Structure 1
């Protein structure tokens, strides 16, 4: 249970750090790249596994880590944009309502049961994403662009959760968790550098410091997620549901308290539906 609690705390903190990026004018891509190299350093330095870098491509989880690394850098960019443009609560809900994707994958890959409550929960999850992205007094032309980042975040986060669970279950030994996490972040950082080279911008101290803070928070959010998946006896749908509803609630609360985010009637309804959705899925 302690791993689950720590995962919720660090995962919620990611949205807050992204919101602070906007306040301190930190470039999202540069911050994310630094973040991944910091997370890589933490993972490698805390790993108890003795290894040579030349052996990493032979690991059974390497190609899975490579795929996840690409998804990480892409979805993290979208998460940063969503947190800044749509708000912390919207980003948290769009990312965590993606629980419907690993649930469907759990039915297909692990023969987990999909009962009527879970089906209702999936439908409500989609409604929650819609309601939380709605803003007052916006024309249709202005509303559509604001929906795109949360929708992309929803899809991308779902793919990451599904892939992470599958790779961790089938290819990552318990003693490789820290190493796997570190290499995953290192690969994401390298891919980020490639993105940066296509459109380079001046590197500032703020970008580096912001990325370092994000790297610490990000590493432990994934590390404790993997540790929780190792030790928890629940089905993946139940685990992700409890984890995600806690993150939605905590992130929304932090967004309102620290950033004075305003939730209109539709947004509040979306938050309520999100919580009900995840509770139904977990039942």
Structure 2
């Protein structure tokens, strides 16, 4: 459970950092790409074995990291578009509800336990995610022509978590976790650099120390969020569906309480009900182990 707790803390720090981005007017694209570079370097430093490029490219997980790096960048852009066209609440719900995909994958493919407490806990968790993420009194309102973007965020986020579980189970040795994570972030950075080049061509690129520092502050916890999540998934006493539910719901709770305490965010009744349901869901899923 220690690795799961550390993953929750690292991922919560990422969400808190994004809140600070808005407060200090940080260029998110620049910070995200710097973050991927820093996360890659963090993995290289954490890797205790000699770094051999040939060995890495010959690894069974290598081509999977290219695909994951590409999906990381895609999901980031889809989240940005979703926020612009549908609002922040829709983007938050779409990204957090994507936990349903790896949970269903774990139950169907890996025949993970599906006791009554766990099923109820999963259902309550999904309801809690929706209610806690919604910051307006009304429900979600999405125009038909914009529906594709939150749908892509939902699918992309689910694919990332599901792929991490699949590759961790079948291809990644324990000693390779740092270099595996570093390679994913490295490709995300490489694939993101053309976006900066495009902005430079348009004349809208203005790299500042503030954006670089923000990327560094994001990159280190980002690396450890993936590293500790993979370590938690390797825990023989925890099903992946349990890990993903507890991880996602706990991150939502921590970031929500930090928002209340330090960012003076105000919650509506729906959010408080969601928080209560989130706590209940974690207890149910935990006790079902």
**Bin for the TM-score computed over the shorter chain:** 0.7 to 0.9
Distance 1:98 1:78, change over 3 A: same
Once the two structures are TM-superposed, the CA of residue 204 in structure 1 deviates from its matched residue by 1.4
Distance 1:138 1:39, change over 3 A: same
Secondary structure of 2:99's counterpart equals helix
CA distance in 2, matches of 1:256, 1:69: 33
Match of 2:88 among 86, 89, 92: 86
- Given that residues 32 and 73 in structure 1 are in contact (C-alpha distance below 8 angstroms), is that contact kept between their aligned partners in structure 2? no
Unaligned runs of 5+ residues in structure 1 are none
CA distance in 2, matches of 1:21, 1:34: 14
TM-score normalized with structure 2 length: 0.83
Distance 1:222 1:79, change over 3 A: farther
Unaligned runs of 5+ residues in structure 2 are none
* Matching residue of 2:39: 39
Counterpart mapping for 1:50-199 below 5 A: 50-77=50-77, 86=88, 91=92, 95-136=95-136, 143-144=141-142, 153-199=153-199
Once the two structures are TM-superposed, the CA of residue 52 in structure 1 deviates from its matched residue by 2.6
* Matching residue of 2:274: 270
Secondary structure of 1:261's counterpart equals coil
TM-score normalized with structure 1 length: 0.84
- Given that residues 75 and 153 in structure 2 are in contact (C-alpha distance below 8 angstroms), is that contact kept between their aligned partners in structure 1? yes
Once the two structures are TM-superposed, the CA of residue 162 in structure 1 deviates from its matched residue by 1.1
Once the two structures are TM-superposed, the CA of residue 153 in structure 1 deviates from its matched residue by 4.4
* Matching residue of 1:8: 8
Distance 1:137 1:177, change over 3 A: closer
- Given that residues 125 and 249 in structure 2 are in contact (C-alpha distance below 8 angstroms), is that contact kept between their aligned partners in structure 1? no
CA distance in 1, matches of 2:34, 2:229: 21
Aligned CA-pair RMSD: 3.0
- Given that residues 6 and 221 in structure 1 are in contact (C-alpha distance below 8 angstroms), is that contact kept between their aligned partners in structure 2? yes
Matched pairs, number:
278
- Given that residues 40 and 182 in structure 2 are in contact (C-alpha distance below 8 angstroms), is that contact kept between their aligned partners in structure 1? yes
Once the two structures are TM-superposed, the CA of residue 122 in structure 1 deviates from its matched residue by 4.1
